[in-house]
Structure 1
Amino acid sequence: MSANQHPRVLVCGASGRLGQLLVPRLLARQARPRVFVRQAATAQALWGDTVEVAQGSFEDAAALGQALVGIDRLFLLSPISPTLAEQQLRVVEAARAAGVQHIVKLSGSDWTIDPPGHSLSGDAHGRIEEGLQASGISHIVLRPNAWMQVGLSRIAADLRNGDVLRSQHLGAGVSYIDARDIADVAVEALLNPEAAQQRLGASGPWVLTGSQALRPQKLAEIASRLLGRPITAAAPVAAAADPFIAQVHGEFFGSSRNTGERGADLEKEVVLISISVGAALD
Protein backbone atom coordinates (compact mmCIF):
# COMPACT_ATOMS: atom_id res chain seq x y z
CA MET A 1 0.00 0.00 0.00
CA SER A 2 1.14 3.56 -0.56
CA ALA A 3 1.90 6.14 2.11
CA ASN A 4 -1.85 6.35 2.66
CA GLN A 5 -2.33 3.22 4.77
CA HIS A 6 -6.11 3.61 4.99
CA PRO A 7 -7.21 4.72 1.51
CA ARG A 8 -10.69 5.90 0.75
CA VAL A 9 -12.15 3.55 -1.84
CA LEU A 10 -15.32 4.35 -3.75
CA VAL A 11 -17.13 1.11 -4.60
CA CYS A 12 -19.53 1.29 -7.54
CA GLY A 13 -21.91 -1.65 -7.70
CA ALA A 14 -21.57 -2.07 -3.94
CA SER A 15 -25.03 -3.53 -3.32
CA GLY A 16 -24.66 -6.26 -5.93
CA ARG A 17 -23.35 -9.79 -5.60
CA LEU A 18 -19.66 -8.86 -5.90
CA GLY A 19 -19.93 -5.56 -4.07
CA GLN A 20 -21.36 -7.31 -1.02
CA LEU A 21 -18.28 -9.54 -0.99
CA LEU A 22 -15.82 -6.73 -1.65
CA VAL A 23 -16.90 -4.18 0.97
CA PRO A 24 -16.34 -6.46 4.02
CA ARG A 25 -12.92 -7.40 2.65
CA LEU A 26 -11.98 -3.74 2.35
CA LEU A 27 -13.13 -3.11 5.91
CA ALA A 28 -11.09 -6.08 7.14
CA ARG A 29 -8.02 -4.55 5.50
CA GLN A 30 -8.68 -1.22 7.26
CA ALA A 31 -9.52 0.63 4.09
CA ARG A 32 -12.27 3.24 4.22
CA PRO A 33 -14.94 2.24 1.70
CA ARG A 34 -17.53 4.67 0.43
CA VAL A 35 -20.36 2.98 -1.44
CA PHE A 36 -22.09 4.59 -4.41
CA VAL A 37 -25.67 3.33 -4.53
CA ARG A 38 -29.01 4.41 -5.94
CA GLN A 39 -30.75 3.93 -2.59
CA ALA A 40 -28.98 4.88 0.65
CA ALA A 41 -31.36 2.68 2.64
CA THR A 42 -30.03 -0.39 0.83
CA ALA A 43 -26.46 0.37 1.90
CA GLN A 44 -27.50 1.16 5.44
CA ALA A 45 -29.35 -2.15 5.69
CA LEU A 46 -26.24 -3.99 4.48
CA TRP A 47 -23.49 -2.21 6.42
CA GLY A 48 -25.04 0.23 8.89
CA ASP A 49 -22.61 2.98 9.82
CA THR A 50 -19.45 1.00 8.97
CA VAL A 51 -19.18 2.63 5.53
CA GLU A 52 -19.71 6.05 4.01
CA VAL A 53 -22.74 6.16 1.74
CA ALA A 54 -23.03 8.26 -1.41
CA GLN A 55 -26.43 8.14 -3.10
CA GLY A 56 -26.77 8.73 -6.82
CA SER A 57 -26.33 7.27 -10.28
CA PHE A 58 -23.84 7.50 -13.12
CA GLU A 59 -26.31 9.77 -14.94
CA ASP A 60 -26.26 12.30 -12.07
CA ALA A 61 -23.03 14.24 -12.65
CA ALA A 62 -23.37 16.27 -9.46
CA ALA A 63 -23.92 13.21 -7.25
CA LEU A 64 -21.08 11.37 -8.96
CA GLY A 65 -18.71 14.29 -8.50
CA GLN A 66 -19.63 14.57 -4.82
CA ALA A 67 -19.15 10.84 -4.31
CA LEU A 68 -15.60 11.11 -5.67
CA VAL A 69 -14.50 13.95 -3.39
CA GLY A 70 -11.54 12.79 -1.30
CA ILE A 71 -11.43 9.36 -2.94
CA ASP A 72 -8.05 7.70 -3.46
CA ARG A 73 -9.11 4.55 -5.33
CA LEU A 74 -12.14 3.46 -7.29
CA PHE A 75 -13.75 0.09 -7.97
CA LEU A 76 -15.74 0.36 -11.19
CA LEU A 77 -18.61 -2.07 -11.76
CA SER A 78 -22.09 -1.60 -13.20
CA PRO A 79 -24.70 -3.88 -14.78
CA ILE A 80 -24.62 -4.73 -18.48
CA SER A 81 -26.76 -2.28 -20.42
CA PRO A 82 -26.85 -0.66 -23.88
CA THR A 83 -25.23 2.46 -22.34
CA LEU A 84 -22.53 0.63 -20.36
CA ALA A 85 -19.59 2.27 -22.16
CA GLU A 86 -20.99 5.79 -21.96
CA GLN A 87 -21.79 5.41 -18.26
CA GLN A 88 -18.44 4.03 -17.20
CA LEU A 89 -16.42 6.41 -19.38
CA ARG A 90 -18.29 9.22 -17.64
CA VAL A 91 -17.12 7.82 -14.32
CA VAL A 92 -13.52 7.54 -15.53
CA GLU A 93 -13.54 11.19 -16.61
CA ALA A 94 -15.08 12.27 -13.30
CA ALA A 95 -12.45 10.25 -11.43
CA ARG A 96 -9.67 11.91 -13.41
CA ALA A 97 -11.10 15.35 -12.62
CA ALA A 98 -11.36 14.43 -8.93
CA GLY A 99 -7.73 13.30 -8.73
CA VAL A 100 -8.42 9.60 -8.10
CA GLN A 101 -5.07 7.80 -7.99
CA HIS A 102 -6.01 4.27 -9.01
CA ILE A 103 -8.96 2.45 -10.61
CA VAL A 104 -9.83 -1.23 -10.68
CA LYS A 105 -12.37 -2.06 -13.38
CA LEU A 106 -14.43 -5.23 -13.33
CA SER A 107 -14.61 -5.96 -17.06
CA GLY A 108 -16.15 -8.67 -19.21
CA SER A 109 -14.94 -12.16 -19.94
CA ASP A 110 -11.76 -12.15 -22.01
CA TRP A 111 -13.25 -14.09 -24.91
CA THR A 112 -16.04 -11.50 -25.33
CA ILE A 113 -13.52 -8.64 -25.63
CA ASP A 114 -10.60 -10.00 -27.63
CA PRO A 115 -10.88 -10.11 -30.58
CA PRO A 116 -13.40 -7.26 -30.85
CA GLY A 117 -16.45 -7.21 -33.06
CA HIS A 118 -18.51 -10.23 -32.02
CA SER A 119 -20.03 -9.17 -28.68
CA LEU A 120 -21.96 -6.03 -27.76
CA SER A 121 -20.99 -6.25 -24.10
CA GLY A 122 -17.39 -7.17 -24.91
CA ASP A 123 -17.03 -4.24 -27.29
CA ALA A 124 -18.45 -1.91 -24.64
CA HIS A 125 -15.96 -3.15 -22.06
CA GLY A 126 -13.20 -2.81 -24.64
CA ARG A 127 -14.09 0.85 -25.17
CA ILE A 128 -13.98 1.47 -21.44
CA GLU A 129 -10.61 -0.23 -21.12
CA GLU A 130 -9.28 2.00 -23.92
CA GLY A 131 -10.67 5.03 -22.11
CA LEU A 132 -8.93 3.97 -18.92
CA GLN A 133 -5.66 3.63 -20.78
CA ALA A 134 -6.07 7.08 -22.31
CA SER A 135 -6.98 8.67 -18.97
CA GLY A 136 -3.47 8.35 -17.59
CA ILE A 137 -4.83 7.04 -14.28
CA SER A 138 -3.13 4.02 -12.74
CA HIS A 139 -5.49 1.11 -13.25
CA ILE A 140 -5.95 -2.65 -13.28
CA VAL A 141 -8.56 -4.42 -15.40
CA LEU A 142 -10.08 -7.67 -14.15
CA ARG A 143 -11.63 -9.94 -16.78
CA PRO A 144 -13.43 -12.70 -14.88
CA ASN A 145 -14.98 -15.62 -16.65
CA ALA A 146 -18.51 -16.81 -15.84
CA TRP A 147 -19.31 -16.55 -12.14
CA MET A 148 -19.82 -19.86 -10.36
CA GLN A 149 -22.60 -18.48 -8.14
CA VAL A 150 -24.61 -17.32 -11.15
CA GLY A 151 -24.25 -20.72 -12.78
CA LEU A 152 -25.18 -22.54 -9.58
CA SER A 153 -28.26 -20.39 -9.03
CA ARG A 154 -29.54 -21.35 -12.48
CA ILE A 155 -28.77 -25.01 -11.85
CA ALA A 156 -30.57 -24.90 -8.50
CA ALA A 157 -33.62 -23.30 -10.11
CA ASP A 158 -33.74 -26.03 -12.75
CA LEU A 159 -33.38 -28.81 -10.19
CA ARG A 160 -36.16 -27.40 -8.04
CA ASN A 161 -38.43 -27.84 -11.04
CA GLY A 162 -37.29 -31.27 -12.19
CA ASP A 163 -34.32 -33.33 -13.32
CA VAL A 164 -33.21 -31.36 -16.40
CA LEU A 165 -30.52 -28.68 -16.59
CA ARG A 166 -31.52 -26.18 -19.25
CA SER A 167 -28.86 -24.61 -21.47
CA GLN A 168 -29.25 -22.65 -24.68
CA HIS A 169 -25.82 -23.77 -25.88
CA LEU A 170 -25.20 -27.41 -25.04
CA GLY A 171 -21.85 -27.48 -26.84
CA ALA A 172 -20.27 -24.59 -24.91
CA GLY A 173 -17.70 -25.33 -22.22
CA VAL A 174 -17.38 -22.64 -19.54
CA SER A 175 -14.60 -22.20 -16.95
CA TYR A 176 -16.52 -20.88 -13.95
CA ILE A 177 -14.84 -18.81 -11.22
CA ASP A 178 -16.00 -18.31 -7.64
CA ALA A 179 -17.13 -14.72 -7.00
CA ARG A 180 -15.26 -14.86 -3.68
CA ASP A 181 -12.03 -15.36 -5.61
CA ILE A 182 -12.88 -12.37 -7.78
CA ALA A 183 -13.42 -10.30 -4.64
CA ASP A 184 -10.10 -11.45 -3.16
CA VAL A 185 -8.26 -10.42 -6.31
CA ALA A 186 -10.10 -7.10 -6.46
CA VAL A 187 -8.99 -6.24 -2.92
CA GLU A 188 -5.35 -6.88 -3.80
CA ALA A 189 -5.70 -4.88 -7.01
CA LEU A 190 -7.18 -1.97 -5.05
CA LEU A 191 -5.00 -1.92 -1.95
CA ASN A 192 -1.72 -3.47 -3.03
CA PRO A 193 -1.53 -2.98 -6.81
CA GLU A 194 2.22 -2.58 -7.24
CA ALA A 195 3.11 -5.68 -5.24
CA ALA A 196 0.33 -7.73 -6.81
CA GLN A 197 1.42 -6.75 -10.32
CA GLN A 198 5.01 -7.68 -9.53
CA ARG A 199 4.19 -11.01 -7.92
CA LEU A 200 1.77 -12.05 -10.64
CA GLY A 201 3.94 -10.78 -13.46
CA ALA A 202 0.97 -9.11 -15.14
CA SER A 203 1.31 -6.33 -17.67
CA GLY A 204 -2.19 -6.40 -19.15
CA PRO A 205 -5.71 -7.35 -18.05
CA TRP A 206 -5.92 -9.96 -15.34
CA VAL A 207 -7.94 -12.88 -16.72
CA LEU A 208 -9.66 -14.75 -13.89
CA THR A 209 -10.91 -18.23 -14.70
CA GLY A 210 -11.57 -21.64 -13.29
CA SER A 211 -9.31 -24.58 -14.00
CA GLN A 212 -11.76 -26.54 -16.21
CA ALA A 213 -14.19 -25.69 -18.99
CA LEU A 214 -17.40 -27.55 -18.12
CA ARG A 215 -20.17 -28.29 -20.61
CA PRO A 216 -23.80 -28.58 -19.44
CA GLN A 217 -23.63 -32.36 -19.85
CA LYS A 218 -20.73 -32.50 -17.39
CA LEU A 219 -22.62 -30.32 -14.92
CA ALA A 220 -25.58 -32.69 -15.21
CA GLU A 221 -23.25 -35.62 -14.54
CA ILE A 222 -21.89 -33.93 -11.40
CA ALA A 223 -25.41 -33.08 -10.21
CA SER A 224 -26.50 -36.69 -10.74
CA ARG A 225 -23.64 -37.95 -8.61
CA LEU A 226 -24.27 -35.45 -5.81
CA LEU A 227 -28.05 -35.85 -5.72
CA GLY A 228 -28.20 -39.58 -6.34
CA ARG A 229 -30.73 -39.31 -9.16
CA PRO A 230 -30.46 -39.04 -12.95
CA ILE A 231 -29.99 -35.47 -14.22
CA THR A 232 -29.81 -34.62 -17.91
CA ALA A 233 -29.03 -31.48 -19.93
CA ALA A 234 -31.34 -30.12 -22.60
CA ALA A 235 -32.23 -26.95 -24.47
CA PRO A 236 -34.54 -24.54 -22.64
CA VAL A 237 -38.22 -24.08 -23.28
CA ALA A 238 -38.71 -20.83 -25.19
CA ALA A 239 -39.50 -17.90 -22.91
CA ALA A 240 -39.70 -14.14 -23.26
CA ALA A 241 -36.54 -12.24 -22.32
CA ASP A 242 -35.09 -8.76 -22.60
CA PRO A 243 -33.78 -8.65 -26.21
CA PHE A 244 -30.49 -6.97 -25.31
CA ILE A 245 -29.70 -9.39 -22.46
CA ALA A 246 -30.72 -12.35 -24.63
CA GLN A 247 -28.33 -11.19 -27.35
CA VAL A 248 -25.49 -10.72 -24.85
CA HIS A 249 -26.01 -14.22 -23.46
CA GLY A 250 -26.11 -15.69 -26.95
CA GLU A 251 -22.88 -13.95 -27.93
CA PHE A 252 -21.15 -15.09 -24.74
CA PHE A 253 -21.94 -18.75 -25.22
CA GLY A 254 -21.39 -18.52 -28.96
CA SER A 255 -17.89 -17.22 -28.27
CA SER A 256 -17.16 -19.99 -25.80
CA ARG A 257 -18.28 -22.59 -28.32
CA ASN A 258 -16.18 -21.08 -31.13
CA THR A 259 -13.05 -20.84 -28.99
CA GLY A 260 -13.37 -24.29 -27.44
CA GLU A 261 -11.77 -24.37 -24.01
CA ARG A 262 -9.82 -21.15 -24.50
CA GLY A 263 -10.94 -19.94 -21.06
CA ALA A 264 -8.64 -22.51 -19.48
CA ASP A 265 -5.70 -22.02 -21.86
CA LEU A 266 -5.22 -18.46 -23.14
CA GLU A 267 -2.25 -17.85 -25.44
CA LYS A 268 -1.55 -14.23 -24.53
CA GLU A 269 0.22 -12.14 -21.90
CA VAL A 270 -2.37 -12.18 -19.17
CA VAL A 271 -2.70 -13.67 -15.73
CA LEU A 272 -4.58 -16.96 -15.50
CA ILE A 273 -5.93 -17.25 -11.98
CA SER A 274 -7.68 -20.48 -11.05
CA ILE A 275 -10.03 -21.40 -8.24
CA SER A 276 -6.99 -21.27 -5.91
CA VAL A 277 -6.33 -17.62 -6.77
CA GLY A 278 -6.14 -16.63 -3.11
CA ALA A 279 -3.07 -18.80 -2.65
CA ALA A 280 -1.39 -17.19 -5.64
CA LEU A 281 -1.44 -13.86 -3.85
CA ASP A 282 -0.16 -15.16 -0.49
Structure 2
Amino acid sequence: MILITGATGTIGSHVARLLTEQGVPFRAMSRRAQPGGVQADFDDPASLARAVAGVDAVFLVTVPPVPTAAHDLALLEAARAAGVRKIVKLSAIGSGETFDGATVGAWHVDAERAIEAGGFAWTVLRPPSFASNLLRFAPLIRAGEPLPNLAGDSRQAVIDPRDVAAVAVAALTGDAHDGRRYDLSGPELLTFADQAAILEGVLARPVDVTDVPTLDQVPAAMATGVAWARAGGAAYLTDHVPRILGRPAGTFEQWAHDHREAFTNPRE
Protein backbone atom coordinates (compact mmCIF):
# COMPACT_ATOMS: atom_id res chain seq x y z
CA MET A 1 0.00 0.00 0.00
CA ILE A 2 1.32 3.43 -1.01
CA LEU A 3 0.18 6.69 0.56
CA ILE A 4 0.17 9.76 -1.69
CA THR A 5 0.17 13.05 0.16
CA GLY A 6 -0.88 16.03 -1.91
CA ALA A 7 -2.84 13.57 -4.03
CA THR A 8 -4.90 16.27 -5.74
CA GLY A 9 -1.87 18.43 -6.56
CA THR A 10 0.32 18.89 -9.61
CA ILE A 11 2.51 15.81 -9.11
CA GLY A 12 0.38 13.74 -6.74
CA SER A 13 -2.53 13.56 -9.17
CA HIS A 14 -0.23 12.15 -11.86
CA VAL A 15 1.27 9.66 -9.39
CA ALA A 16 -2.26 8.48 -8.55
CA ARG A 17 -3.08 8.11 -12.25
CA LEU A 18 0.05 6.06 -12.96
CA LEU A 19 -0.45 3.77 -9.97
CA THR A 20 -4.04 3.20 -11.06
CA GLU A 21 -2.88 2.30 -14.56
CA GLN A 22 -0.36 -0.16 -13.10
CA GLY A 23 -2.85 -1.71 -10.71
CA VAL A 24 -0.81 -0.73 -7.65
CA PRO A 25 -2.89 -0.17 -4.48
CA PHE A 26 -2.64 3.31 -3.02
CA ARG A 27 -4.34 5.65 -0.61
CA ALA A 28 -4.83 9.27 -1.62
CA MET A 29 -4.45 11.74 1.23
CA SER A 30 -5.87 15.25 1.10
CA ARG A 31 -7.16 17.87 3.49
CA ARG A 32 -10.63 17.73 1.98
CA ALA A 33 -12.65 14.54 1.76
CA GLN A 34 -12.24 12.86 -1.63
CA PRO A 35 -14.06 9.77 -2.94
CA GLY A 36 -11.94 6.73 -2.10
CA GLY A 37 -9.29 8.81 -0.35
CA VAL A 38 -8.30 9.52 3.23
CA GLN A 39 -8.84 12.93 4.81
CA ALA A 40 -5.89 14.06 6.92
CA ASP A 41 -4.15 17.22 8.00
CA PHE A 42 -0.45 17.66 8.72
CA ASP A 43 -1.40 19.60 11.84
CA ASP A 44 -3.58 16.74 13.16
CA PRO A 45 -1.41 13.82 14.40
CA ALA A 46 -4.39 11.50 14.85
CA SER A 47 -5.43 11.95 11.23
CA LEU A 48 -1.87 11.25 10.06
CA ALA A 49 -1.79 8.06 12.12
CA ARG A 50 -4.95 6.91 10.34
CA ALA A 51 -3.52 7.84 6.96
CA VAL A 52 -0.30 5.81 7.35
CA ALA A 53 -1.83 2.74 8.99
CA GLY A 54 -0.94 -0.34 6.94
CA VAL A 55 1.16 1.68 4.49
CA ASP A 56 4.48 0.42 3.10
CA ALA A 57 5.64 3.53 1.20
CA VAL A 58 4.79 7.24 1.22
CA PHE A 59 5.06 9.80 -1.56
CA LEU A 60 5.71 12.89 0.54
CA VAL A 61 4.66 16.26 -0.84
CA THR A 62 4.14 19.20 1.49
CA VAL A 63 3.25 22.72 0.37
CA PRO A 64 2.76 24.73 3.56
CA PRO A 65 1.72 28.38 3.20
CA VAL A 66 5.06 29.37 4.73
CA PRO A 67 7.91 26.95 3.87
CA THR A 68 8.65 24.82 6.92
CA ALA A 69 9.75 21.25 7.59
CA ALA A 70 7.09 20.88 10.29
CA HIS A 71 4.61 19.10 8.03
CA ASP A 72 7.23 16.68 6.73
CA LEU A 73 8.39 15.94 10.26
CA ALA A 74 4.85 15.31 11.47
CA LEU A 75 4.23 12.80 8.70
CA LEU A 76 7.60 11.12 9.31
CA GLU A 77 6.83 10.68 12.99
CA ALA A 78 3.52 9.01 12.17
CA ALA A 79 5.15 6.89 9.46
CA ARG A 80 7.91 5.67 11.77
CA ALA A 81 5.37 4.69 14.44
CA ALA A 82 3.32 2.80 11.84
CA GLY A 83 6.31 0.87 10.46
CA VAL A 84 6.35 2.54 7.03
CA ARG A 85 9.38 1.26 5.12
CA LYS A 86 9.97 3.80 2.35
CA ILE A 87 9.68 7.57 1.81
CA VAL A 88 9.92 9.22 -1.59
CA LYS A 89 10.08 12.98 -1.06
CA LEU A 90 9.42 15.73 -3.56
CA SER A 91 12.08 18.35 -2.84
CA ALA A 92 13.36 21.12 -5.12
CA ILE A 93 16.39 21.84 -7.24
CA GLY A 94 19.22 23.62 -5.46
CA SER A 95 18.18 22.58 -1.96
CA GLY A 96 21.22 22.86 0.30
CA GLU A 97 23.09 25.29 -1.95
CA THR A 98 24.32 28.50 -0.35
CA PHE A 99 23.47 31.81 -1.99
CA ASP A 100 24.10 35.29 -0.62
CA GLY A 101 24.77 33.85 2.82
CA ALA A 102 21.53 31.83 3.02
CA THR A 103 20.60 28.21 2.29
CA VAL A 104 18.43 27.42 -0.70
CA GLY A 105 15.47 25.22 0.24
CA ALA A 106 16.54 25.02 3.87
CA TRP A 107 13.22 23.50 4.93
CA HIS A 108 13.56 20.76 2.32
CA VAL A 109 17.06 20.00 3.60
CA ASP A 110 15.81 19.68 7.17
CA ALA A 111 13.16 17.20 6.03
CA GLU A 112 15.62 15.23 3.90
CA ARG A 113 17.97 14.83 6.86
CA ALA A 114 15.11 13.66 9.07
CA ILE A 115 14.16 11.05 6.47
CA GLU A 116 17.71 9.71 6.37
CA ALA A 117 17.96 9.67 10.15
CA GLY A 118 14.58 7.95 10.49
CA GLY A 119 15.76 4.59 9.22
CA PHE A 120 13.60 4.62 6.08
CA ALA A 121 14.50 3.50 2.62
CA TRP A 122 14.33 6.81 0.75
CA THR A 123 14.56 8.64 -2.54
CA VAL A 124 14.63 12.43 -2.93
CA LEU A 125 13.45 14.10 -6.13
CA ARG A 126 14.68 17.62 -6.83
CA PRO A 127 13.03 19.04 -9.95
CA PRO A 128 13.38 22.59 -11.30
CA SER A 129 10.49 24.75 -12.53
CA PHE A 130 7.44 22.79 -13.72
CA ALA A 131 6.07 23.39 -17.19
CA SER A 132 2.67 23.54 -15.52
CA ASN A 133 3.67 26.69 -13.60
CA LEU A 134 2.48 28.66 -16.61
CA LEU A 135 -1.09 27.52 -15.98
CA ARG A 136 -1.35 30.17 -13.27
CA PHE A 137 -1.04 32.77 -16.03
CA ALA A 138 -3.81 31.33 -18.21
CA PRO A 139 -6.24 34.19 -17.39
CA LEU A 140 -3.60 36.75 -18.40
CA ILE A 141 -2.91 34.90 -21.63
CA ARG A 142 -6.59 34.71 -22.50
CA ALA A 143 -6.90 38.44 -21.76
CA GLY A 144 -3.87 39.29 -23.88
CA GLU A 145 -1.97 40.68 -20.88
CA PRO A 146 1.83 40.32 -20.45
CA LEU A 147 3.14 37.69 -18.06
CA PRO A 148 5.28 38.85 -15.11
CA ASN A 149 8.82 37.51 -15.39
CA LEU A 150 10.58 37.03 -12.05
CA ALA A 151 13.32 34.87 -13.57
CA GLY A 152 15.05 37.53 -15.66
CA ASP A 153 17.28 36.03 -18.35
CA SER A 154 18.13 32.94 -16.30
CA ARG A 155 17.59 29.53 -17.79
CA GLN A 156 16.17 26.38 -16.23
CA ALA A 157 15.66 22.83 -17.45
CA VAL A 158 11.87 23.16 -17.24
CA ILE A 159 10.33 19.75 -16.59
CA ASP A 160 7.02 18.14 -17.46
CA PRO A 161 5.35 17.21 -14.14
CA ARG A 162 4.29 13.92 -15.71
CA ASP A 163 7.97 12.94 -15.85
CA VAL A 164 8.47 13.79 -12.18
CA ALA A 165 5.49 11.59 -11.33
CA ALA A 166 6.81 8.73 -13.45
CA VAL A 167 10.16 8.82 -11.64
CA ALA A 168 8.34 8.93 -8.30
CA VAL A 169 6.36 5.83 -9.22
CA ALA A 170 9.55 4.01 -10.25
CA ALA A 171 11.05 4.82 -6.85
CA LEU A 172 7.90 3.89 -4.94
CA THR A 173 7.41 0.52 -6.63
CA GLY A 174 11.00 -0.75 -6.68
CA ASP A 175 14.23 -0.62 -4.72
CA ALA A 176 16.67 0.40 -7.46
CA HIS A 177 16.46 4.06 -6.47
CA ASP A 178 16.76 3.72 -2.71
CA GLY A 179 19.27 6.10 -1.13
CA ARG A 180 19.44 8.36 -4.18
CA ARG A 181 18.90 12.07 -4.72
CA TYR A 182 17.92 12.94 -8.25
CA ASP A 183 18.15 16.39 -9.78
CA LEU A 184 15.47 15.86 -12.38
CA SER A 185 15.47 18.02 -15.49
CA GLY A 186 13.76 18.52 -18.79
CA PRO A 187 15.76 18.12 -22.02
CA GLU A 188 16.56 21.80 -22.66
CA LEU A 189 17.42 25.02 -20.86
CA LEU A 190 14.79 27.71 -21.31
CA THR A 191 14.31 31.27 -20.14
CA PHE A 192 10.85 32.43 -19.12
CA ALA A 193 10.75 34.39 -22.39
CA ASP A 194 11.60 31.19 -24.28
CA GLN A 195 8.64 29.45 -22.67
CA ALA A 196 6.36 32.33 -23.60
CA ALA A 197 7.60 32.23 -27.20
CA ILE A 198 7.00 28.49 -27.45
CA LEU A 199 3.53 28.88 -25.98
CA GLU A 200 2.85 31.71 -28.41
CA GLY A 201 3.62 29.38 -31.30
CA VAL A 202 1.40 26.62 -29.92
CA LEU A 203 -1.53 28.95 -29.25
CA ALA A 204 -1.04 31.06 -32.39
CA ARG A 205 -1.66 34.20 -30.33
CA PRO A 206 0.68 36.75 -28.71
CA VAL A 207 2.17 35.82 -25.35
CA ASP A 208 4.23 38.74 -24.08
CA VAL A 209 6.30 39.04 -20.91
CA THR A 210 7.21 41.96 -18.71
CA ASP A 211 10.26 41.90 -16.48
CA VAL A 212 9.85 42.20 -12.73
CA PRO A 213 13.19 43.67 -11.63
CA THR A 214 12.84 42.99 -7.89
CA LEU A 215 11.72 40.02 -5.83
CA ASP A 216 9.33 42.01 -3.66
CA GLN A 217 6.46 39.77 -4.78
CA VAL A 218 8.21 36.60 -3.62
CA PRO A 219 7.55 35.34 -0.07
CA ALA A 220 10.62 35.93 2.10
CA ALA A 221 11.05 32.22 2.84
CA MET A 222 11.31 31.47 -0.90
CA ALA A 223 13.32 34.49 -1.98
CA THR A 224 16.73 32.82 -1.63
CA GLY A 225 15.77 29.99 -3.98
CA VAL A 226 14.30 32.37 -6.55
CA ALA A 227 17.37 34.62 -6.39
CA TRP A 228 19.67 31.59 -6.72
CA ALA A 229 17.83 30.43 -9.84
CA ARG A 230 17.70 33.97 -11.23
CA ALA A 231 21.50 34.16 -10.86
CA GLY A 232 21.86 31.02 -13.02
CA GLY A 233 22.17 28.39 -10.31
CA ALA A 234 19.58 26.12 -11.93
CA ALA A 235 20.98 26.33 -15.45
CA TYR A 236 22.06 22.73 -15.91
CA LEU A 237 20.76 19.47 -17.36
CA THR A 238 20.89 15.93 -16.00
CA ASP A 239 20.25 12.54 -17.56
CA HIS A 240 18.26 11.17 -14.63
CA VAL A 241 14.83 11.19 -16.30
CA PRO A 242 15.85 9.29 -19.48
CA ARG A 243 18.08 6.94 -17.49
CA ILE A 244 15.29 6.03 -15.06
CA LEU A 245 12.38 5.98 -17.49
CA GLY A 246 14.17 4.58 -20.54
CA ARG A 247 12.87 7.38 -22.76
CA PRO A 248 13.65 11.06 -23.37
CA ALA A 249 12.29 13.65 -20.99
CA GLY A 250 9.28 15.49 -22.35
CA THR A 251 9.78 18.90 -23.93
CA PHE A 252 8.02 22.09 -22.87
CA GLU A 253 6.58 22.37 -26.37
CA GLN A 254 4.96 18.94 -26.13
CA TRP A 255 3.53 19.81 -22.71
CA ALA A 256 2.13 23.05 -24.15
CA HIS A 257 0.47 21.19 -27.03
CA ASP A 258 -1.07 18.69 -24.61
CA HIS A 259 -2.47 21.50 -22.42
CA ARG A 260 -3.43 23.96 -25.12
CA GLU A 261 -7.09 24.04 -24.10
CA ALA A 262 -6.22 25.20 -20.59
CA PHE A 263 -4.96 28.46 -22.10
CA THR A 264 -7.75 28.95 -24.61
CA ASN A 265 -10.90 27.87 -22.75
CA PRO A 266 -11.93 29.45 -19.43
CA ARG A 267 -12.32 26.88 -16.70
CA GLU A 268 -15.79 26.44 -15.32
Mapping for residues 264-275 of structure 1, pairs under 5 Å: 264=237, 272-273=240-241
Mapping for residues 103-252 of structure 1, pairs under 5 Å: 103-109=87-93, 111-115=94-98, 118-119=102-103, 122-150=105-133, 152-162=134-144, 164-194=146-176, 197=177, 204-228=180-204, 231-236=207-212, 246-248=219-221, 250-252=223-225
In the alignment, residue 166 of structure 1 is paired with which amino acid?
A: P
Shift of the 103–263 alpha-carbon distance from structure 1 to 2, 3 Å rule, reads same
Distance 1:174 1:80 in 2: 24
The structural deviation recorded for 1:256 is 1.5
The structural deviation recorded for 1:227 is 4.7
SS in 1 for 2:87: strand
The structural deviation recorded for 1:119 is 4.9
The structural deviation recorded for 1:34 is 1.0
Question: CA offsets per residue over residues 97-119 of structure 1, 9 Å max, x none?
Answer: 1100111111122x243347635
| Alpha carbons 1:165, 1:216 under 8 Å: kept | no
Number of the residue aligned with 1:36: 29
Shift of the 263–247 alpha-carbon distance from structure 1 to 2, 3 Å rule, reads farther
SS in 1 for 2:188: coil
TM-score (norm. length: structure 1)? 0.76
Question: CA offsets per residue over residues 138-164 of structure 1, 9 Å max, x none?
Answer: 0111111111111x3145333222263
- Identify the structure with the greater helix proportion: 1
Q: Structure 1: any 5+ residue segments left out of the alignment?
A: 1-7, 45-50, 266-270
Distance 1:11 1:165 in 2: 33
Mapping for residues 249-268 of structure 1, pairs under 5 Å: 250-260=223-233, 262-264=235-237
Number of the residue aligned with 1:48: none
User: Which of 24, 27, 30 does residue 20 from structure 2 map onto?
Assistant: 27
In the alignment, residue 209 of structure 2 is paired with which amino acid?
A: A
Question: CA offsets per residue over residues 160-181 of structure 1, 9 Å max, x none?
Answer: 2226332023222122101111
Aligned residues: 247
| Alpha carbons 2:4, 2:27 under 8 Å: kept | yes
SS in 2 for 1:264: coil
SS in 1 for 2:72: helix
Number of the residue aligned with 1:57: 41
The structural deviation recorded for 1:207 is 1.1
In the alignment, residue 153 of structure 2 is paired with which amino acid?
A: G
2:97 counterpart of 1:97:
no
Deviates more, 1:92-101 or 1:202-211: 202-211
Number of the residue aligned with 1:77: 61
SS in 2 for 1:104: strand
The structural deviation recorded for 1:182 is 0.9
Distance 2:30 2:196 in 1: 38
| Alpha carbons 2:152, 2:230 under 8 Å: kept | no
SS in 2 for 1:149: helix
In the alignment, residue 210 of structure 2 is paired with which amino acid?
A: A
Distance 2:31 2:208 in 1: 41
| Alpha carbons 2:91, 2:108 under 8 Å: kept | yes
Superposition RMSD in Å = 2.9
In the alignment, residue 192 of structure 1 is paired with which amino acid?
A: G
Deviates more, 1:156-165 or 1:30-39: 156-165
Q: Structure 2: any 5+ residue segments left out of the alignment?
A: 249-268
Identical pairs, percent? 28
The structural deviation recorded for 1:123 is 0.2
| Alpha carbons 2:151, 2:229 under 8 Å: kept | no
In the alignment, residue 228 of structure 2 is paired with which amino acid?
A: S
Shift of the 82–227 alpha-carbon distance from structure 1 to 2, 3 Å rule, reads closer
TM-score (norm. length: structure 2)? 0.80
